């Protein structure tokens, strides 16, 4: 947390805390003094702006709804302050949300911290109404970069520790779509909202990270498995089916949510399996024939394949 110099009631110098959201009014370059770059937005989101910042704002509201049991809806982003470092950075977001119970617009603050860039690996330690008197907990989240789980087999999906969403839950659970947009927009910063809308979710299963609790949509720490379709590639007649894994971890001490995830296509998965098989075969050949013998045999096989492919084309 940065600080700003000012004067108290007695005229003596006083240090005022600046939490990164509301900028101190000491000139247009005040944000840079605190290691932040300020971005101001109009009422409506502009197409040239990065879609992932809007997704970050929606994620902040999602954290608040999950922990407080509310149903506040995102309206629009007002402004945000971003860390000046080139890589992973914190985003202090100021936004407006709709409160259905009271029917009024609520100013809101959310902090999204990137742990790594180029992939889904972020934490959401703060999400609160601007008028809230409750201060965020001072303890920092203990970040751990553990590997994501593998994609389960069909037999594993049939087990009780997995829960498959039905059609109604799939279409009416807002955070399912949000998580898929988050996985893509964090990996590909240039993606637009129209490109994100080309992904059609077909199947979703969840698994609770706590063995004591059965998996449910209300679980705070869970793993989400998605099968979805890239409609843009489908229109071109290309392979279009994809998979995604998103892990959500809640830390009680800091009230922080951490998200990690990855996505890939079925064709990429087949190619990896093929390369893995080729490596195993070559390793066996090395044991039997030695390095030189294995390379010679491999070259002969590729030559024969080339001759066969050329003869078929004729």
pLDDT computed for residue 39 by the predictor = 82
In a domain, 35, yes or no: yes
Take residue 58 and report the two structure tokens written for it. 């929606």
For 32, 41, 84, the CA distances from 292, given in Å and listed in that order, are 61, 64, 53
Say whether both 153 and 119 belong to one domain. no
pLDDT computed for residue 178 by the predictor = 97
In a domain, 8, yes or no: no
pLDDT computed for residue 7 by the predictor = 40
In a domain, 251, yes or no: yes
Residue 136 has pLDDT above 60, yes or no: no
In a domain, 198, yes or no: yes
Which residues constitute the domain of residue 204? 148-299
Q: How confident is the model at residue 44 (pLDDT cuts 50, 70, 90)?
A: very low
Q: How confident is the model at residue 312 (pLDDT cuts 50, 70, 90)?
A: very low
Percent of the chain with pLDDT over 70: 70
**Arithmetic mean of pLDDT, 125-151:** 72
Say whether both 205 and 273 belong to one domain. yes
Say whether both 154 and 293 belong to one domain. yes
In a domain, 2, yes or no: no
pLDDT computed for residue 267 by the predictor = 84
Q: Compute how many other C-beta atoms are within 10 angstroms of the C-beta atom of residue 247.
A: 19
pLDDT computed for residue 244 by the predictor = 97
In a domain, 140, yes or no: no
Say whether both 79 and 189 belong to one domain. no
Say whether both 92 and 172 belong to one domain. no
Pick from 114-118, 122-126, 156-160, 293-297: least confident: 293-297
Q: 108 near 61, Cβ under 8 Å?
A: yes
Q: 53 near 37, Cβ under 8 Å?
A: no
The last residue of a domain, from among 114, 135, 156: 135
| 163-218 pLDDT, tens digit each | 999 999 999 999 999 999 999 999 998 899 999 999 999 999 999 988 777 889 98
Task: Spell out the long-range contacts of 227-233 with Cβ–Cβ below 8 A and sequence spacing 24 or more.
Answer: 227/201, 227/202, 227/203, 228/180, 228/199, 228/200, 228/201, 228/202, 229/199, 229/200, 229/202, 230/198, 230/199, 230/265, 231/198, 231/199, 231/200, 232/195, 232/198
pLDDT computed for residue 125 by the predictor = 93
Pick from 29-38, 63-72, 189-198, 296-305: least confident: 296-305
The last residue of a domain, from among 111, 135, 159: 135
Between these two residues, 281 and 248, which has the higher pLDDT value? 248
Say whether both 163 and 122 belong to one domain. no
Say whether both 239 and 209 belong to one domain. yes
Say whether both 159 and 292 belong to one domain. yes
Residue 269 has pLDDT above 50, yes or no: yes
Q: 248 near 222, Cβ under 8 Å?
A: yes
Say whether both 127 and 158 belong to one domain. no
In a domain, 306, yes or no: no
In a domain, 308, yes or no: no
The last residue of a domain, from among 90, 111, 135: 135
Q: How confident is the model at residue 101 (pLDDT cuts 50, 70, 90)?
A: confident
pLDDT computed for residue 221 by the predictor = 93
Q: How many domains does the chain have?
A: 2
Say whether both 95 and 123 belong to one domain. yes
**Arithmetic mean of pLDDT, 291-302:** 59
Percent of the chain with pLDDT over 90: 46
Say whether both 131 and 158 belong to one domain. no
At residue 310, the 3 state secondary structure works out as: helix
């Amino acid at each position: 947390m940065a600080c700003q110099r000012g004067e108290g009631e007695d005229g003596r110098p006083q240090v005022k805390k600046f939490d990164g959201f509301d900028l101190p009014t000491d000139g247009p370059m005040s944000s840079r003094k605190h290691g932040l770059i300020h971005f101001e937005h109009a009422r409506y989101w502009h197409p040239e702006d990065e879609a992932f910042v809007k997704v970050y704002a929606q994620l902040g509201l999602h954290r608040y709804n999950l922990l407080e049991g509310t149903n506040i809806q995102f309206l629009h982003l007002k402004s945000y302050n971003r860390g000046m470092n080139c890589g992973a950075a914190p985003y202090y977001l100021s936004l407006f949300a709709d409160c259905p119970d009271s029917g009024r617009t609520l100013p809101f603050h959310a902090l999204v911290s990137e742990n790594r860039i180029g992939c889904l690996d972020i934490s959401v330690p703060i999400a609160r109404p601007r008028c809230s008197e409750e201060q965020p907990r001072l303890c920092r989240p203990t970040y751990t970069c553990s590997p994501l789980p593998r994609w389960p087999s069909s037999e594993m999906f049939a087990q009780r520790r997995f829960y498959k969403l039905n059609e109604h839950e799939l279409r009416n659970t807002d955070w399912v779509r949000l998580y898929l947009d988050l996985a893509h927009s964090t990996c590909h910063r240039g993606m637009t909202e129209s490109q994100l809308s080309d992904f059609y979710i077909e199947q979703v299963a969840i698994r609770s990270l706590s063995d004591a609790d059965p998996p449910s949509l209300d679980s705070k720490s869970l793993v989400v498995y998605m099968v979805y379709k890239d409609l843009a590639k489908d229109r071109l007649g290309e392979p279009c089916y994809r998979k995604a894994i998103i892990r959500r971890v809640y830390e009680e001490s800091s009230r922080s949510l951490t998200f990690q995830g990855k996505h890939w296509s079925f064709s990429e998965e087949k190619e990896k399996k093929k390369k893995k098989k080729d490596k195993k075969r070559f390793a066996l050949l090395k044991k039997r024939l030695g390095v030189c013998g294995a390379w010679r045999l491999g070259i002969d096989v590729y030559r024969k394949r080339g001759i066969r492919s050329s003869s078929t084309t004729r």
